Structure 1
Amino acid sequence: MAVTIETAARVTPSERQLLWQQMEFYAFVHFGMNTFTGKQWGFGDEDPSLFNPTEFDANQWVQICQSAGMTGIILTCKHHDGFCLWPSSFTNHSVKFSPWKNGQGDMVREVADACRAHGLKFGVYLSPWDRHELSYGDSPAYNNYFLNQLTELLSNYGEIFCVWFDGACGEGKNGKRQQYDWDAYYTLIRDLQPNAVISVCGPDVRWCGNEAGHMRASEWSVVPASMKDNEKVHAKSQKVDDNSFSKRIDTREEDLGTREVLAQVDEVIWYPSEVDTSIRPNWFYDPADNDLVKTVDQLFELYEKTVGGNSCLLLNLPPDRRGLIHENDARNMSELGKKLRGTYGTNLARGASVRASGSGIGNGDALCILDGRSDTYWTTPEGVATAELEFDLGSIKLFDRIILQEYITSGQRVERFHLACKDSDEEEWRPLYDGTIIGYKRICRLNESRGRFFRLRIAEARLNPMISSFGVYITT
């Protein structure tokens, strides 16, 4: 039975999903044994004595993230090689058996503490695939081992905002393929960290489908329920260290949520997109990549297309063998932060007058669209799915960006919109932008122009549209 438009429009995020979406931009930090072996995927046979980041400084990581406007860090606490960045009680393949801090160090604790000291959120990546652990492939035994390690991470390091699972699944040393007990993992996470989103191989946040930073033109948060199992299918999981995987863009599923898709499925869920990509060609540090760091302009475009395309951006910053984020990465992140703050620090429409077609109901009148708050919105009367909002900025302004936001607490509704502007009341409207979805945030990238009056026309929506924010900006 097809999903109706009204049913899809009334699917809403959980509180944890809503708080996650508002984070927008945060860091992946791939660091571990691979940093010292020069591999991207280790085999689990590494000597722990190789791990010794003599200049490691968690505060440096955090300060660089903050300089770019990031809101959190997800640390690769254990990658596929099985080496743990905390002194796990369940393996000898960890920092406890390394020369770093004479075996007394706990990198997970230092990063978690540095994040909290500076106001960032902390999340964990724990690879289900473990190429060191002998029980891997003996499914019941290894699942118990994995749950024990997960319990350590979720019990001893304070509030966790995200548990990030990938679906990589190869054979164990016994030649058997492990059957991950995802439901048991999820139950434990909900019990120990109920506010944490479970990402990618999880029910809260979905993978965008590639590691190249590619975005769909219309990134729906309401998608077929079957998508929640996409990354858990063993036949589709990544099994080898294949660099082409990070560059692969699968365009077969560009449409995940239009009316045509809804007509073919019988259940939809709120399952928003996250884009994960690295500032360098590789996920773990490689000195050969020092001159291949994404430029400030590339990072700025990536931010606008992802965060401004109804997704969150998870950008990897791989520290080097010193245990520091390299100077080239640090410089570009700092410059990115300056560009983001310079561009989006001032809404040129703040204080404008607003004229709306229809009566404002819900939380306040149309002026609330300009109040900078996420908990207010303007909407048309129930049953009215089109709308027009006109803004008078009071004087002509130069601009090249417009930001729109829906009140996604009540769902994702807008399917098609148009933007226009003019310099005076007497002029005809000049078309600026034709768009499809808005969702949490839509950054409309424009050529530099000028205007005093702006019009947002909602041409099609699933129910009465709920608009939370309108902003006009100029890039610096």
Structure 2
Amino acid sequence: MKRKAGLLGVLLLSTCLAIAQQATSSIPVKTPKAVMDRFMDKRFGMFIHFGPVTQRGTEIGWSRNDQVPEEDYDNLYHEFNPKLFNADEWVKAAKDAGMKYLVITAKHHDGFLLWPSAFSDYNISKSPFKRDIVGELEKACKKQGITFCIYCTVLDWHDKDYPIDNPHHPEINARKGDMTAFKTRMKNELKEVITKYHPFMLWFDGYWEAPWTTADGQEIYNYIKSVDVNVITNNRLGKISEKLGGDAVGDFLTPEQTIGKLNMDEPWESCITICNQWAWKPNDGMKSLKQCIQTLVTSASGNGNLLFNVGPAMDGHMEARQVARLKEMGAWLKQNGEAIYGTKGGPYVPTAEYGATRLGNKIYINVFQRKDSTLNIPLLPNTKILKSYFLNGNAVAIRSDSKGYKIELPATLPDENCSVIVLEVDVNAMDIPVIKS
């Protein structure tokens, strides 16, 4: 035991020294691969946009100086008192949906903090509500086994040290600002949430305005790693790019309101709304169950995660219709989650008819619609299909010729939203190269 403990100590010391050396060199410390793998295995998370502007039913950031006058917008926190907020109920809605992580807009572009901070007076403790929304959600997530994550903005139209105060006309009455002071405050706030709430991931946005540079983003990324090397960040700390590496800052790509393409080389997560608006809007249109399930499945089939957004109402409750829709997704995942969690995308590129995921010696063909009595898919190179069947269901007949496989479909698919066919193969499915349909 002593020898093992000594060896462990040496390994820990070596790791710490390596991190320290990287931190003082020009090579930035990166999030460990094992941490990124845990994140990507989760596949499904809840995004929550919530703040004082919810009282107006307008978009959380872009309505400032537009639908909501600046003076009104910036003082909405004086009325902010979401008495029906219940962290356990929010987290339960995520858990019942089959979601594995949750991201709360702890600080959006309005600059208002949903936690009591030592570094800004523009925070939840100054509202009538006063309670620590971030802290209560962190505790509820821990209790219910959901991974807790935090959204923070890069820009801040309220902070006098940030050079822009109008999102629609940044060139008009732009403040001189002080970016050094702004970044110092930003670092203090980030250290505060990292050490106090221990988020698994920090989700950034607001990179697009001219005062914020890629160098600023890299500086903040390096600072986060100096506080906790295991904290993941998305690629919106610097100027957003469609590829990682090079000047890109962050650990994963973030297509917005669209599903990412199949990408076996770079981690990605699509952020998409369950309704139309990010923040709550009265009578906002909501996606059908089929749209919701197929959005999740297509994301997983492309080897990405889905961060699905819910906007709680101004009094703090989540709309019953949204909670019910999420629970329906959870019911589907209870039956078919084997084809989603922990899988990789491919080997087939997703189509309008199906998407594919894989794990071990299994390929999951997620069928979106029945166009004909057979589903035609390309041949798998150097691979033999040993068994084919509906997940938790009957065997499926499959024939092959030089053009591909023909999978026999019943007159009515087992699930009208998405039915899963399992192909057991004689190789590790991950070794099969990507095949275009």
Q: TM-score by structure 1 length?
A: 0.60
The structure, 1 or 2, with the larger RCO (C-alpha pairs under 8 Å, 6+ apart) is 1
| Whole-angstrom distance in 1 between the partners of 2:406 and 2:311 | 37
| Whole-angstrom distance in 1 between the partners of 2:47 and 2:227 | 22
1:108 — aligned with what? 134
Distance 1:306 1:92, change over 3 A: same
Q: How many residues align?
A: 323
Confirm whether residue 278 of structure 1 aligns to residue 273 of structure 2.
Answer: yes
Confirm whether residue 28 of structure 1 aligns to residue 47 of structure 2.
Answer: yes
1:151 — aligned with what? 191
Contact 2:294–2:417 (Cα < 8 Å) also in 1: no
Q: State the Cα distance separating 1:466 from its structure 2 match.
A: 3.0
| Whole-angstrom distance in 1 between the partners of 2:398 and 2:406 | 17
| Whole-angstrom distance in 1 between the partners of 2:46 and 2:84 | 20
Q: State the Cα distance separating 1:454 from its structure 2 match.
A: 6.1
| Whole-angstrom distance in 2 between the partners of 1:315 and 1:20 | 15
| Whole-angstrom distance in 2 between the partners of 1:389 and 1:371 | 12
Determine which of 256, 263, 272 is the counterpart of 1:220.
263
| Ranges in structure 1 where 5+ consecutive residues have no aligned partner | 1-11, 172-176, 223-270, 348-366, 373-384, 402-420, 435-444, 459-463, 469-476
Q: State the Cα distance separating 1:449 from its structure 2 match.
A: 10
2:160 — aligned with what? 134
Contact 1:28–1:314 (Cα < 8 Å) also in 2: yes
1:198 — aligned with what? 233
Distance 1:429 1:448, change over 3 A: farther
| Whole-angstrom distance in 1 between the partners of 2:148 and 2:222 | 20
| Whole-angstrom distance in 2 between the partners of 1:93 and 1:190 | 26
| Whole-angstrom distance in 1 between the partners of 2:417 and 2:404 | 11
Distance 1:106 1:399, change over 3 A: closer
| Whole-angstrom distance in 1 between the partners of 2:54 and 2:98 | 26
Distance 1:214 1:333, change over 3 A: same
Contact 2:260–2:269 (Cα < 8 Å) also in 1: no
Q: State the Cα distance separating 1:324 from its structure 2 match.
A: 1.5
Alignment RMSD: 3.7
| Whole-angstrom distance in 1 between the partners of 2:80 and 2:418 | 49
Post-superposition CA distance 1:401-445 (Å, at most 9, x none): 9xxxxxxxxxxxxxxxxxxx8469xx86994489xxxxxxxxxx9
Post-superposition CA distance 1:34-53 (Å, at most 9, x none): 21233311456224212110
Distance 1:318 1:370, change over 3 A: same
| Whole-angstrom distance in 2 between the partners of 1:371 and 1:283 | 34
| Ranges in structure 2 where 5+ consecutive residues have no aligned partner | 1-30, 65-69, 164-177, 237-248, 341-358, 365-379, 408-415
Contact 2:103–2:149 (Cα < 8 Å) also in 1: yes
Q: State the Cα distance separating 1:165 from its structure 2 match.
A: 0.9
| Whole-angstrom distance in 2 between the partners of 1:165 and 1:302 | 23
Contact 1:221–1:273 (Cα < 8 Å) also in 2: no
Q: State the Cα distance separating 1:23 from its structure 2 match.
A: 1.0
Amino acid at match of 2:183: N
Post-superposition CA distance 1:443-465 (Å, at most 9, x none): xx9997999x866899xxxxx96
Amino acid at match of 1:189: I
Distance 1:447 1:206, change over 3 A: closer
| Whole-angstrom distance in 2 between the partners of 1:346 and 1:302 | 14
Distance 1:75 1:433, change over 3 A: farther
| Whole-angstrom distance in 1 between the partners of 2:117 and 2:225 | 21
Distance 1:457 1:163, change over 3 A: same
2:283 — aligned with what? 288
| Whole-angstrom distance in 2 between the partners of 1:127 and 1:313 | 20
Post-superposition CA distance 1:338-377 (Å, at most 9, x none): 1222234599xxxxxxxxxxxxxxxxxxx963699xxxxx
| Whole-angstrom distance in 1 between the partners of 2:272 and 2:419 | 29
1:379 — aligned with what? none
Q: State the Cα distance separating 1:168 from its structure 2 match.
A: 4.1
Amino acid at match of 2:260: M
| Whole-angstrom distance in 1 between the partners of 2:263 and 2:363 | 26
Q: TM-score by structure 2 length?
A: 0.66
Determine which of 74, 77, 94 is the counterpart of 2:103.
74
| Whole-angstrom distance in 1 between the partners of 2:304 and 2:42 | 10
Percent of counterpart pairs with the same letter?
Answer: 25
Post-superposition CA distance 1:219-256 (Å, at most 9, x none): 2243xxxxxxxxxxxxxxxxxxxxxxxxxxxxxxxxxx
Contact 1:90–1:148 (Cα < 8 Å) also in 2: yes
Distance 1:93 1:431, change over 3 A: same
Q: State the Cα distance separating 1:288 from its structure 2 match.
A: 2.8
| Whole-angstrom distance in 2 between the partners of 1:194 and 1:152 | 15
